[in-house]
Each structure stands twice: as structure tokens, then as C-alpha cells.
Amino acid sequence: MVLRIFGLSGLVTVISLVAAFLYGGPTALFLCLILGILEVSLSFDNAVINATVLRRMSEFWQKIFLTIGILIAVFGMRLLFPLAIIWVTAGLNPIEAFDLALNPPPGDAAYFPADDPNRPGQASYETLITDAHPQIAAFGGLFLALLFLNFIFTEREITWLSWIERPLARAGKLDMLSVVVAGIALVLAAEFLADDENRATVLLAGLLGMITYIAVDGLGSMFHTEEFEENLDEAGREIEGKPVNTGPSDLAKATGKAGFFLFLYLEVLDASFSFDGVIGAFAITADPIIIALGLGLIGAMFVRSITVYLVRQGTLSDYVYLEHGAHWAIGALATILLVSIGVHVNEIITGLVGVAFIGAAFWSSIRRNRRAAAAETGDERATTPVA
């Protein structure tokens, strides 16, 4: 099972590293490997969230996401997205932006020399991407913030950090509280973190991030029936004697609308998770080929494999706090993105925060399962109640 799921990712990794070596020698190979590790470390929480949504989709739409969706993730976000940023912010078309990326200024200069006959004084590809970071961070930060807030403001039978999750869930009974909190965060970030030149664009980008989340999440929920999910316990397991359908409704399967909107939701979600990785990659290299090989092929393929493994193995049902940990990691990532509008945050910190939340949730799930097993066997030492 493990070899079948991760075998393709391993093969793609080898091919990508060979391609990087042929493209730029040992340096390119090393940079490609570093970017792949960076993407996996930053996106592990992404894989957990993908799995929670993917298991609600029909087999057909699961295959669509794991094939076409991955191609969009690889070539769309990791290659075309940076080019689109240059197109919008600098007025260069994608072909000109790609040429600019492949032909950086001499040395470590941020601009071409003023006497350059082709690009006198033009900013480098990396500089243009970095200049667009506040808008990107605002859009991605608000999208992910709403995802986190909608989860944490919902009452659940099982809680992980109960001392804070239960009070927040009670507060979530106030209608639209997540939108209010996200809106306040956006205003504060624009006021105190964005400079005067970027304040308006940060507000607009953040507002678009909120609108995108509300629209895509709303469309996905429109065709999703609650009838069968009521027959699942909090861990996603079937309640004995009750029918269960963890995918879209029969009508949705026939029309494909539920699957399509969940697919769209996952693509926007992946894009939001990718912002920090794409921006962080430019701290390592501005070469779009190496970024596409490292972030796209190696990183995205391993995230795909981890997602498939979680779904096929039923890991989220066995380790019930993983979803909680992933959402807390999302909340941390959203905060980091908003803070990064005005303060540089090292990519290592971003990656470690996500891994720390996932690891802690995984360990808490193991301890919970041990207590439950001990209680079932009548172990007198199992006195601690299960959350």
C-alpha cells in the first residue's frame, strides 16, 4: 500500500532531480531538493485538510482532483502564478515575465543596469514578486483565516485543546462571527503592517480573499446533504445501524455539481496554501524552472501522496485530533501571512509551526486511543476520561 501510494512520488523526485542537474548542475540539483523539502514541510497541514474534503467526494471527483488538480497545482500555482503576478503588477505579459526570470540582472542586483540596452533600470523578476507579497499575503491570509475561524467557531463533540476550543465554539453561536474577526484582522494588518503605498491594495486583496472563501465554501455546501453525515460520529465513523454516505448526495453524483464545487474549493485552498511556499522559494532561487521542479513536481506530488494515504488508510478516523491540529496550523499560517505584510518571517518558522501542530495532534490522538483501548479492556489505570 505504502509503496503503491508513494512510488510515483519517489519516481517523480528522481526524474526532477536528474532534470535539475542537467539544467544547472550540482547547484540546481541542491536547490531543487531544498525546495521540495520546503514545500512538503509547509504543506503537510494542506494534505490533512485535503483529505478531510476529499473523503466527502465521489470516486470520480477524487480521481479528477488527484490528476487534473495536481497538474493545476504543479503548473498553475508553481509556474504560471508567479508569471501572472508579474503580468498584473509590472505590465509584462507572461512570455516577457518568463524571459525576465530566465535572464536576471548580473550579480545580485535587484535592477538591470541603467545603461542596459534591453532593460535599462528594470526591476528583476525576484524583486517584482517580492514587491507583490503584501497583496498575495492579504488574499491568502484572509482565505485561510476564514477556514480556520469557521472550524474553531463550530461546536464539536470531540475537542483537542478543549480549554480554548469549547469557549470559542460557544462564542461561535453569534452569527457571522468568523467574518467579523477576519475583517478586524484585515483592517489591523492594513493599518499597522502595510505601508501607505500598499494599504489600499492590501485591503482590496484581503476583501477578495474573504469573498472567494465565502463564495466557494457556500457553493460547495449548497449541494451537500446533511442527512447522511448525521449518521457519522465526530471521528467520521459509521454509527451502527444507520446508512452512511460520506460523499456527495445521489443528486450531486448525477449532476456532478457537488463534486465540482468541492474540487473548486480544494483548488482555491491549495492555491492559498501555496502562497507562502512560492514566495518563500524566492529566498532560495528566482529561477522558475528550479521552482517548478522543486515546489511543483517534488513537493506537490508528495503532498498528493500524503493526501491519498490519509484517505485510503482512514487515518483521520483513527487519529481524530489530526483535523484539529491541521486547522490550528492553518490559523498559525494565516497569522504569519498577515504579519508578513510588514515583517519578514523566516520560512523555516512557517514550516516548523505547521509540523509542530500536526505532530502534537498526532501524539494526542495516540494517547487518546491508548486510553480508550485500556478502558475497553478494564485497565484500572485508565482513569483519565477520553475527550
Judge contact between 100 and 127, C-beta under 8 A: no
pTM of this prediction exceeds 0.85: no
C-alpha triplet 77, 331, 247: angle, nearest 5°: 70
Q: Using a CB cutoff of 8 Å and minimum separation of 24, what contacts does 120-125 make?
A: 123/90, 124/100, 124/286, 125/82, 125/86, 125/97, 125/100, 125/101, 125/286, 125/288
211/217 Cα distance (integer angstroms) = 10
Going residue by residue through the chain, which has 387 residues, state the pLDDT in tens, using 9 for 90 and above. 677 888 888 898 999 999 999 998 998 898 888 888 777 776 777 788 888 888 777 788 888 888 887 777 767 777 777 777 777 767 777 788 778 877 777 766 777 787 777 777 888 777 887 788 898 889 888 988 998 999 999 988 889 999 999 999 999 988 889 999 999 999 999 999 999 888 999 999 999 989 988 887 776 666 554 433 444 444 444 444 444 433 333 333 323 677 787 788 788 777 777 766 676 676 677 777 888 888 878 887 888 888 888 888 877 788 889 889 988 988 998 899 899 999 988 777 777 788 889 889 999 999 999 988 888 776 544 444 444
> What count of residues does the chain have?
387
Q: Which residues contact 45 (CB under 8 A, 6 or more apart)?
A: 273, 325, 326, 329, 330, 333, 354, 357, 358
